[in-house]
Each structure stands twice: as C-alpha cells, then as structure tokens.
C-alpha cells in the first residue's frame, strides 16, 4: 500500500517514514526542504535498505501535487508538512495560515476527487491551550490556542472533520505532546534551522558549545521547581504510533465517516530544569543556563493521558526521558562530525 508522507524528510516525518518502510508500506515523500536537508533521504535508505520516492516541491503547487496522484496509487496520507515555530507564527500569521492550511486543502482536493481515505493529521496538544485538569485526555475541552501556529492546527482539525463527515472518509488526528530525541542510529534527528525555538534542541546546542547558555523561560510558575512542565515523548515511539493509527484506519471497513483522535504522550510531566538535569546526567555534560522572564504565550503545565491510544492502538511510549536525551546527544555528535 502506497502512503503519501508530506514533510517526510522533517523531524517526525523522517522517523515515521522509517517505521512505514520497516512495516512494508510503499512511501512517496513530498517535502520542500524548507525545514530539512536532502541527506536525510540517504540516511533513511541506510537505515532501512529502502529508498522512498521523493518529490522536492512545495505542496502549495497544486499542479505538481496532482501529478504525484496521477503517477502513484496513493491510498493514504500522513500530513506532517507545516511551519511550526510558535514565535515566528506570531509575526508571520498570513504565511502560516497560507502554508499550513492551503497545503492541507490541496491534498484534500485530490483525496475528494479520487475517493481516497486514510488521512492522518499531525496535530498538537497546543489545541488544548492551558487545560484546567491534568492529565489531558481527548475529552478535554479545546481552547483557542494563543499562537497562530496553534490556531492553524485547530483549524486543520476542523477542516478534516468536515471532510470526513461530508465525504464519509476515515481520518485520524494525532495530538503530539513534546517530541524529543533522535533515531538510535544517530542518523536522523531534529535539524533546527537557525536559533532553536524548542527546549531540547537548544539544550543540545548549548551542551555542544554552539550556544553559550540556555535561557530558562521563567522559574515562577506554580510547579515543584517553578519551571514549566511538559510531556516529552521519544520521537521513535511517536513514529510507531503513526503506523499503529494507520493500520487501525485501514482495517476499519466502515462506510461512514471515521474520526479517530489520540493524545500521544508518555503520561508523565517533566519540568524544564528536570530536562536540563536529565540531559547532563544522561550524557555526562554540562548545560549552562540562566533564569529569564517567562516566554509570551507559554502555558504552565501539559501532560497527556495516553490511555485511549494504549487501548485502541495497542501503543505505549516506553522510552525514558534520559534515554531519549541520550539519543539527542548522539545525534548532535553525528552533526558535529558532518561539519
């Protein structure tokens, strides 16, 4: 079965492509390389012994996307392609709405015309905003996200729900908590462009001397050590959840609309300082940091109740924070060796 993976050379996309290939799916990648590099494709082949078909273009180019659907019997899609920098989305809202929504709609136009189902959407726990109750399950009420990035994820979910209902198709919304880590081969990982927005890549670059010190955004939160708490999930565990979700969709022979929604996290919260200390312990390195003011738009705490995914997908995130952070450091050393 051939699966279209948009953003398939990106961080989560590339790890998911490896798991799809290891499970004997055929994979067609469309990636504009705006947040990735071509060597990732070669590394996917090194890891799996298989080379996915790759088209380097922007999904806003609907005429090129049409040709891909003409050339391949696409029977499902995992849609990762999106801009994802929360801060950047605040200063470039139109670019974010255009990119994150037009690309999705272009794919859905092809799905609609060709009666294709099995659409998996890369969503985010950000759609919950600051949830009132922890852990966060799929019945937790959504709140309008603070960031434009988060709004594009919530709007994307709404578009897909309407698509599924109107055309009786099968979709899955996967709401990631905080993906971290790298492939055990150290040949895939997060490739931050410029100054990393997210915590773990910044920690990785600080330990490597690329950044002078980590700014800890706020230690006055109502948490145990005053720093904000998140649910850090190992990227390979997250990738495996995509294959489990895809299999469930494929096996569901319903003629009616299918709308599956899963929170993908470990179920455990870790503070910023706990992540810093775990990275130092796991890798026997130092991460110099300074406490700074809170970052605009950040929430205090978010961690998942992964029970629904465990029950319905037979999936559970098994990798510890320290093990995940060990893979991050191995990846940074691989990147250092390439430069």
- List, by residue number, the catalytic residues: 149
CB of 201 to ligand WQD, least distance (A): 8
Nearest alpha-carbon partner for 166 in 76, 257, 243, 71? 257
User: Judged by CB under 6 A, does residue 215 bind ligand WQD?
Assistant: yes
* Least spacing, CB of residue 36 vs ligand WQD, in Å: 14
Neighbours of 253 (CB within 10 A): 7
Q: Any contact of residue 131 with ligand WQD (CB under 6 A)?
A: no
Q: Kindly state the DSSP code that residue 294 receives in the 8-state scheme.
A: P
Q: Which stretch binds ligand WQD (CB under 6 A): 40-48, 110-118, 191-199, 252-260?
A: 191-199
Strand ranges of the sheet holding 74-79, from the earlier edge strand across to the other edge: 53-55, 26-30, 2-6, 74-79, 119-124, 170-176, 258-264
**Are 203 and 275 in contact, with CB atoms under 8 Å apart?**
yes
How far is Cα 282 from Cα 298, in angstroms, rounded to an integer?
A: 27
Nearer residue to ligand WQD within complex by CB, 188 or 228:
228
What is the greatest pairwise CA distance in the chain? 56
- Minimum CB distance to ligand WQD smaller for 54 or for 221: 221
Assess 178 for contact with ligand WQD (CB under 6 A).
Answer: yes
Binding ligand WQD (rule: CB under 6 A), the pick from 57, 97, 217, 334 is: 217
Binding mask 51-90 for ligand WQD (x = CB under 6 A): ---------------------------------x-x----
Structure tokens at 29: 């990648």
Residue 172 or 205: which CB sits closer to ligand WQD?
205
Residue 198's alpha-carbon distances to 232, 268, 292, in angstroms, are: 11, 19, 15
Q: Which residues form the interface with ligand WQD (CB under 6 A)?
A: 84, 86, 124, 126, 178, 197-199, 202, 214-217, 228, 230, 272, 295, 298
């Amino acid at each position: 079965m051939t699966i279209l993976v948009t953003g398939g050379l990106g961080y989560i996309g590339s790890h998911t492509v490896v798991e799809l290939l290891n499970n004997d799916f055929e994979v067609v990648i469309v990636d504009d390389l705006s947040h990735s590099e071509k060597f990732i494709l070669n590394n996917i082949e090194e890891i799996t012994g298989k080379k996915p078909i790759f088209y380097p273009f922007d999904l806003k180019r609907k005429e090129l996307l049409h040709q891909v659907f003409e050339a391949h019997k696409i029977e499902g899609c995992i849609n990762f392609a999106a801009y994802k920098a929360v801060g950047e989305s605040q200063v470039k809202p139109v670019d974010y709405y255009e990119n994150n929504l037009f690309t999705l709609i272009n794919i859905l136009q092809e799905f609609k015309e060709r009666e294709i189902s099995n659409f998996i959407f890369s969503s985010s726990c950000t759609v919950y905003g600051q949830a009132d109750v922890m852990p966060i399950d799929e019945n937790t009420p959504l709140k309008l996200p603070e960031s434009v990035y988060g709004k594009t994820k919530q709007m994307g979910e709404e578009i897909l729900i309407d698509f599924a209902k109107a055309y009786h198709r099968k979709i899955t919304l996967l709401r990631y908590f905080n993906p971290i880590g790298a492939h055990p081969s150290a040949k895939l990982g997060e490739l931050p462009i410029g100054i990393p927005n997210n915590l773990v890549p910044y920690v990785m670059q600080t330990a490597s001397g690329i950044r002078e010190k980590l700014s800890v955004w706020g230690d006055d939160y109502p948490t145990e050590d005053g720093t904000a708490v998140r649910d850090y999930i190992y990227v390979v565990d997250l990738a495996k959840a995509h294959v489990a979700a895809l299999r469930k969709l494929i096996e569901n022979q319903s003629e009616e609309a299918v709308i599956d929604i899963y929170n993908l996290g470990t179920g455990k919260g870790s503070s910023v300082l706990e992540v810093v200390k775990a990275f130092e312990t796991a890798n026997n390195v130092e991460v110099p940091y300074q406490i700074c003011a809170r970052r605009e738009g950040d929430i205090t705490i978010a961690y998942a109740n992964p029970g629904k995914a465990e029950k319905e997908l037979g999936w559970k995130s098994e990798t510890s924070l320290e093990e995940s952070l060990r893979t991050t450091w191995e990846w940074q050393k691989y990147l250092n060796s390439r430069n």
